[in-house]
Structure 1
Amino acid sequence: MGRSPFQVLIIPYLNNGDEILFALFQRGKEGYWQGIAGGGEDTETPLQAAKRESWEEAGISSERRFVSLDSLTTIPVEHVVGSFMWGEDKYVIPEYSFGVELHVQHLKLSHEHSQYLWVNYDEASKMLKWDSNKNAIWELNKRISNVSDKNGALT
């Protein structure tokens, strides 16, 4: 399997009508909080990678509804893979963001994370380490809140 030059970020959420909750994951050794994150493989699209990573890291079915977010950032290749594996002229790679709607709070935790928590937006924005995660969760929260205010479905 070849590593593709992009990352994905996935934020699971649950909207119970009264409150929107987001699942955050504590990175094992490092101890910081983030969404589900990982890289593309071979010829995967970002959405395919997001579905695979969600399954591998949290047991989330690819049949769930994934929401593509406009939030996009770039990450230095050395911070992702430790080297210039895609050539010396490839300095940064894109990180594509997604939300995934769940209806239950139980997740299957992978070895990459020590725990997960369901928290509201205010709590999540304080806990997250990476600015890209904060930006993506802000967008996802606004999208969900706007739809909830209109009593419609998120598409």
Structure 2
Amino acid sequence: MPRAPFQILVVPFRHVGDKLEFAVLRRKDMNVWQTVAGGGEDNETPEQAALREASEELGLDHPGPIYPLQATASVPARFFADGIHWPAGTYVVPEYAFAIDLTGIEASISHEHTALEWRDYDTAHEVLRFDSNRTALGELHERLLAVDLPHPIK
């Protein structure tokens, strides 16, 4: 079954003492830094895809809480091979952003990445390649500073 016509991204974060850290992953195929990203499979919702992708890309047996973010973006459909299976006239797909709390949870990388690094906000923001990743990171950072995370999905 082709992937669903939407994209998700998940920004991993953790508290280390009184500091915040954010995980960035280096994509193997493009050699760029990004957050967790992927698409829906079968009849998944964006929330279900976010949970699955976070588990797969971060090597998690049981993912921590996933929080929906307000950040959204659009990705040109031509970037996805499965786009040929989508309805005619699908030129862009929505990208939904989430955050995952990995405080006290060990993460590892999948075969899709060559590195995972924990960084402070400024250095994470600096290395991320895609604007949508930087926007979601910025929203998450502001929410964490304001102690204003939405209710978790899980």
State the TM-score, normalizing by the size of structure 1: 0.89
Q: What amino acid does structure 2 have at the position aligned with 1:37?
A: A
- The answer to whether structure 1 residue 76 and structure 2 residue 76 are counterparts is yes
Q: Is the 8 A contact 1:69 1:98 kept in 2?
A: yes
Deviation at 1:87, TM superposition (A): 3.2
Deviation at 1:91, TM superposition (A): 0.3
Deviation at 1:105, TM superposition (A): 6.1
Matches within 5 A, 1:18-29: 18-29=18-29
Change (3 A) 1:62 1:17: same
Deviation at 1:18, TM superposition (A): 1.5
Q: What amino acid does structure 2 have at the position aligned with 1:31?
A: N
Q: What amino acid does structure 2 have at the position aligned with 1:20?
A: L
2:104 counterpart residue number: 104
**Structure 2: runs of 5 or more not aligned:** none
Moved more, 95-104 or 61-70: 61-70
1:91 counterpart residue number: 91
Q: What amino acid does structure 2 have at the position aligned with 1:18?
A: D
Describe the SS at the equivalent of 1:5.
coil
Deviation at 1:104, TM superposition (A): 3.1
Deviation at 1:17, TM superposition (A): 4.0
Moved more, 106-115 or 122-131: 106-115
- Whole-Å separation in 2 of the counterparts to 1:93 and 1:84: 13
- The answer to whether structure 1 residue 125 and structure 2 residue 125 are counterparts is yes
Calculate the aligned-residue CA RMSD, in Å: 1.8
Q: Quick one: percent identity of the two aligned structures?
A: 38
Q: Deviations over 1:34-63 (max 9, x none)?
A: 000000012111110001011111123455
Describe the SS at the equivalent of 1:71.
strand
Change (3 A) 1:2 1:82: closer
Q: What amino acid does structure 2 have at the position aligned with 1:45?
A: T
Change (3 A) 1:11 1:142: same
Change (3 A) 1:61 1:12: farther
Moved more, 81-90 or 33-42: 81-90
**Structure 1: runs of 5 or more not aligned:** none
Q: What amino acid does structure 1 have at the position aligned with 2:92?
A: V
- Whole-Å separation in 2 of the counterparts to 1:10 and 1:116: 14
